[in-house]
Structure 1
């Protein structure tokens, strides 16, 4: 059943399409953070293992909220590896280093890319598509990513 929430079907489709790209980015970032948690090496292994776990747990919640927002708008969320890889703005390639600084640099770059994507869409969702709810929603996500990026940056 289509959502009848005062936003045209075309605008709902446009917002859902952008949110699908965001979901793909979030999924890839989650996977890369899990990789860091599993494979980090070095004298700071234990503390970084725990740190990365906290970050991937936050990203798990973010992914779920993005997928649910897509559903609230009356569209289906992408949910396959193939769809995520075709939609993401991020790269799956990780650096050669398995120490914490190598992972942190890679993840920080990805968070910053997600922040930029979110920032570019806030006004577009609100002003161009008339979806102030999703504009507010992604503003909150942007703030979460900014905090996660700050935590990563603080380790460098």
Structure 2
């Protein structure tokens, strides 16, 4: 038997104001998108903003449906739109903000598993890491230099 140890390094900022100005601006777009979420069932709004290599910003918010599996997360809404409308542009950075309408959300909320897999696909496709910043409504902001930090041993085209 062989044991494998997997380690991840993330950076944690105490507040959004502690991040670089361009990250603050991108997160502001994610917060705007969060406010446009359609989440009547979970009351959990999420917004995502992507910075493309041409400096264009794409946003997305979660869109729920009474048939729960038919909804779509903010991260996938944004990344699929970017892939469909800007297929030749690489995604440089992603900002995510999540908040509950039921209770304060001060803990950084990372992408769910399905979103991690979707982001991984684009990171592998473009052969360039995507910086990911995520937070709750307020409080700490976590930065990952790559989706690979959030999804070790990822599934990709190399195994197909």
Q: TM-score, normalised by structure 1?
A: 0.26
Instruction: Identify which of structures 1 and 2 has the higher relative contact order when contacts are C-alpha pairs closer than 8 Å and 6+ apart.
Output: 1
Bigger share in strand: 2
Bigger share in helix: 1
Q: TM-score, normalised by structure 2?
A: 0.26
